[in-house]
Structure 1
Amino acid sequence: MIELIQVSKRFGDALAVDDVSLSIERGELCVLIGTSGCGKSTTLRMINRLIEHSAGEIHLEGQPVREFREEVLRRRIGYAIQSTGLFPHWTVARNIGLVPGLLKWPRARIRERVEELMALLGLEVEEFADKYPSQLSGGQAQRVGVARALAADPDILLMDEPFGALDPITRESLQDELVRLQARLNKTIVFVTHDMDEALRLADRLVVMNHGRIIQQGHPLELLRRPADGFVESLLGGADRGLKEAALLPVSQRMTALDDAPLAEQRVSQQATLREALSIMLWRHADCLTVVDAADTPVGQLSLRQLVGAGDARAAAGRTDTDQAAG
C-alpha cells in the first residue's frame, strides 16, 4: 500500500532522514518510534508531501506520490495530529465535514457521514454537533480530529503523536478506540509516537528509528525478544521487556483446562493480559487464578508457573515479518 525506497530528506546540510526503505501492507497499523529528532515525523509527512523528499521514491499502491496533484493526494489520505488542527470558529459537524465539502459531496451525504462518524467515535450528535472546539475536552477534540481524518473514507490514515498531549486515562481510552476502529475499518495506518507502551499496544509492525535511519522493524513481540542492538533494547525498556511482553499476551494463551481441584478464589478474564493476571496475583497474594469468560463462567486456570512459562502461539504463528534491519 505504501512503499518508501531509499528515501532521504535534507534540511540544508542536515540529513533528517537517511536512506529509509519501508513497505507497509494494506490494512497494517505501522508505528514509527524513536527518540526526539530521529526522523519519524519527517518520514510520516513525506508520505502525503507535506514535506518533499530529497532523494529516493515514495509510492502509494505502486504510483509515485509526485505523480499526484498535492491537493488530490492529501484528500485521499487522512491526517490526524496532536494539536487536532480544528478550525476554532467552525462547529464540530462543520470541522468533520471539511474534506467531503471540498470534494463537493451533496449536503445530505455529508450530514449522513458526519453523523455516522460521530456515533462511531462516541460523540452524541445532539450534544456535540453544534459545539465549538473550545467547548470540548482534550479527548473529545481528539475524537473530532480523528473523525475529520476519516470523513472522506480514505484508505490511508497518517497519525502524528495524536494522543501525546492527553492525560493517561484519556490517552488509554483513545488507544482502545483506535484498536476498535481499526478492527472494523481495516485502514492502512502509519502512527508516530515517542511512547513505547503506546507503540507496543497498537502496532502490527513496529519500526524503530535513530538518527534518521531504520534500526529494526517487525512485530512487537519479535523486537522485544530479539532487539537488534543496545539502543533498541534500551528503547524497549531494558530489564522491563518481560513485563512489556506480558502486556501483549492474553491469559487464554497460557491457561490450562480445569481439573478436579477446587477453583481458585481469585478470578481473571481470559481476555485479560498476562501482565494484568500477574498484577492480580501480586495484589491478592495468589499463585493461581480461575479464568472466566465474558459470562463469568470458569473456563480454565492459570498458575504463576504457567504465567511465566516460555513460548506463545502468537509469535509462533509468525503474524508479521521477521526482524530486519534497514541499512
Structure 2
Amino acid sequence: MIDLIHVSKRFGAAAAVNDISLSIAEGELCVLVGTSGCGKSTTLRMINRLIEHSEGEIHIDGQQIRRFREEALRRRMGYAIQSTGLFPHWTVARNIGLVPRLLKWPAAQVQARVEELMELLGLSMEQFAGKYPHQLSGGQAQRVGVARALAADPDILLMDEPFGALDPITRESLQDELRELQARLHKTIVFVTHDMDEALRLADHLVVMHQGRIVQQGRPLELLREPADDFVESLLGGEDRGLKEAALLPVSQRMRPLSPRLLARERIGQHASLREALSLMLWRHAERLTVVDDADMPVGELSLRRLVGERSDD
C-alpha cells in the first residue's frame, strides 16, 4: 500500500530524514517510534505531501505520490493529530462531515456517514452532534478527530501522536478502541509516537528511527528479543524488555489444561496478558492461577513456573 524508496528530506544542509526505505502492507498498522527530532513526524507528513521529500520515491498503491494532485492525495488519506485540529466554531457533526462535503457528497449521504461514524466511535448523536469542541473532554475530542479522518472512507489513516496529550487511562482506552477499529475496518495505518509502550501495544510493524534513519524494523516481539544495537535496546526498555514482552502475550498462550487437583483460588481471564498474570501472582502471593473464559468458566491453569518458562514463537 505504501512504499518509501531511499527517501530523504533536507532542510538546507541538515537531513531530517536520511535515505530510508520502508514498505507498509495493506491493512497493516505501522508504528514509527523514536526520540524527539528523529524524523518520524517528517516521514509521516511526506506520505501525504504536507512536506515534500527531497530525494527518493514514495508510492501509494503502486503510483508515485507526485502524480496525484496534493488535494486529491490528502483526501484519499485520513489524518489525525494530537491537537485534533477541529474547527472550534463548528459542531461535532459539521467537523466530522468536512471532507465528504468537500468531495461534494449529497447531504443525505454526508448525514448518514456522520451518524455511522459517531455510533462506531461511541459518540451518541443526540448527546454530541450539536456540541462544540470546547465542550468535549480530551478523549471525546480525539474520537471526533478520528471520526473526521475516517469520514471519506480512506484506505490510509495517518496519525501523528494522536493520544499524546491525554491522561494514561483515557490514552489506554483509545489505544484499545483503535485496535478494535482496525480489526473491523482493516485500514492501512501509519502511527507516530515517542511512547514505546504505546508503540509495542499497537504495532503490527514497528519501525525504530534515530537521527533521521531507520535503525530497525519488524514485528514487536522480534525487536524485543533481538534489538539491533544498544540504542534500540535502551529505547525498548533495557532490562525491562522481559516485562514488555510479557505485556504482548496472552495468558492463553502459556496456560495448561486443568489438572485434577483443586482449582487455584485466584482467577484470571484467558485474554489477559502474561504481565497482568505475573502482577496478580505477586500481589496475591499465588504460585498458580485458574484461567477462565469470557463466561467465567475455568478453561486452564497457569503456574509461575510456566509463566517464566520457554518462550513462544507467536
Q: Tell me the TM-score range normalised by the shorter chain.
A: over 0.9
- 1:27-176 equivalence runs, <5 A: 27-176=27-176
Does residue 234 (structure 1) correspond to residue 234 (structure 2)? The answer is: yes
* 2:220 paired residue number: 220
Aligned counterpart, 1:26 = 26
Deviation at 1:169, TM superposition (A): 0.5
Matched-pair contact (CA < 8 Å) for 1:267–1:290: yes
Instruction: Give the counterpart letter for 2:274 in structure 1.
Output: L
* Shift in Å, 1:34: 0.4
Letter in 1 for 2:17: V
SS where residue 247 of structure 1 aligns? helix
C-alpha distance in structure 1 between counterparts of 2:282 and 2:311, whole Å: 22
* Superposed structure 1 runs of 4+ greater than 3 Å apart: none
C-alpha displacement of 1:312: 1.1
1:183 aligns with 183
Q: Counterparts in 2 of 1:300-311, with a 5 A limit?
A: 300-311=300-311
CA distance in 1, matches of 2:11, 2:139: 34
How far apart, in 1, do the equivalents of 2:311 and 2:244 lie?
A: 15
Distance apart, 1:154 and its partner CA: 0.2
CA deviations 1:231-255 (Å, max 9, x no partner) are 0000000000000000000000000
Residues in 1 aligned to 2:278 and 2:263: alpha-carbon distance in whole angstroms? 18
- Deviation of residue 13 (structure 1)? 1.3
SS in 2 for 1:233: helix
Q: What secondary structure sits across from 2:95 in the alignment?
A: helix
The answer to whether structure 1 residue 205 and structure 2 residue 205 are counterparts is: yes
- Inter-partner Cα distance in structure 2 for 1:86 and 1:291: 44
Residue-by-residue CA offset, 1:93-135 (whole Å, 9 max, x unaligned): 0000000000000000000000100000010000000000010
Cα distance per residue 1:197-249 (max 9 Å; x no partner): 00000000000000000000000000000000000000000000000000000
* Preserved CA contact (<8 Å) 1:253 1:313: no
Q: Kindly indicate whether residue 12 of structure 2 is the aligned counterpart of residue 2 of structure 1.
A: no
The size of the alignment, in residue pairs, is 314
Report the RMSD for the aligned CA atoms in angstroms: 0.4
Counterpart contact for 1:92–1:144, Cα < 8 Å: yes
- In 2, Cα distance between the equivalents of 1:145 and 1:171? 14
Q: Which residue identity lines up with residue 92 of structure 2 in the other structure?
A: V
1:269 aligns with 2:269: yes
- Structure 1 position 313, deviation (Å): 4.3
1:12 Cα deviation from its structure 2 partner = 1.1
TM norm structure 2: 1.00
Q: Shift of the alpha carbon at 1:297?
A: 0.5
Please state whether the residue corresponding to 1:310 is helix, strand or coil: coil
Where do 5+ consecutive residues of structure 2 fail to align?
none
Is contact 1:5–1:20 with CA below 8 Å preserved after alignment?
yes
The 2-side partners of 1:295 and 1:141 are apart by 34
Q: Distance in 2 between matches of 1:12 and 1:130?
A: 46
Aligned equivalent of 2:251:
251
SS of the counterpart of 2:248? coil
Residues 37-87 of structure 1: CA deviation (Å, up to 9, x unaligned): 000000000000000000000000110000000000000000000000000
Alpha-carbon separation, structure 2, partners of 1:11 and 1:166? 31
Note the residue ranges of structure 1 that are not aligned, 5 or more in a row.
315-327
| TM-score, normalised by the number of residues in structure 1 | 0.96
What SS class does the counterpart of residue 190 from structure 2 fall into?
A: strand
**What SS does structure 2 have at the residue aligned with 1:172?**
helix
Measure the CA separation in 2 of the matches of 1:150 and 1:190.
14
